[in-house]
Amino acid sequence: MTALLWWGKNLFILLVSIFFLLFGVGNLVSAYQLGNPHEFILFFFSSSLMILISLTGIIYVFFRVLSVIKPHK
């Protein structure tokens, strides 16, 4: 049961991270269509932070799964 819960937690983190990565990339692309420079800066840095945190979540899941799959020496 705990193995299933562990995989479920990691799958949830991966799916949420991918969602926010796509959302952040969408915000970054739409930031370039803004006319106000202050709004551009706000959207640019917020979407960059969103992308950075999402990539951290994806890397976290990758290394957790890799440590389980890779046999220990």
pTM: 0.84
Residue in 50, 58, 72, 51 with CA at minimum distance from that of residue 10: 58
Rounded to 5°, the CA angle 47-50-51 comes to: 90
Task: Return the half-sphere exposure (C-beta side, CA atoms, 13 A cut-off) of residue 37.
Answer: 0
Residue ranges making up the domain that contains 10: 2-69
pLDDT in tens, 16-49: 999 999 999 999 999 999 999 999 999 999 999 9
Q: How far is CA 69 from CA 1, 19, 63, 65, 72, in A?
A: 18, 25, 10, 6, 9
% of the chain surpassing 70 pLDDT: 97
Q: Which residue has the tokens 């890397």?
A: 59
The count of domains in the chain is: 1
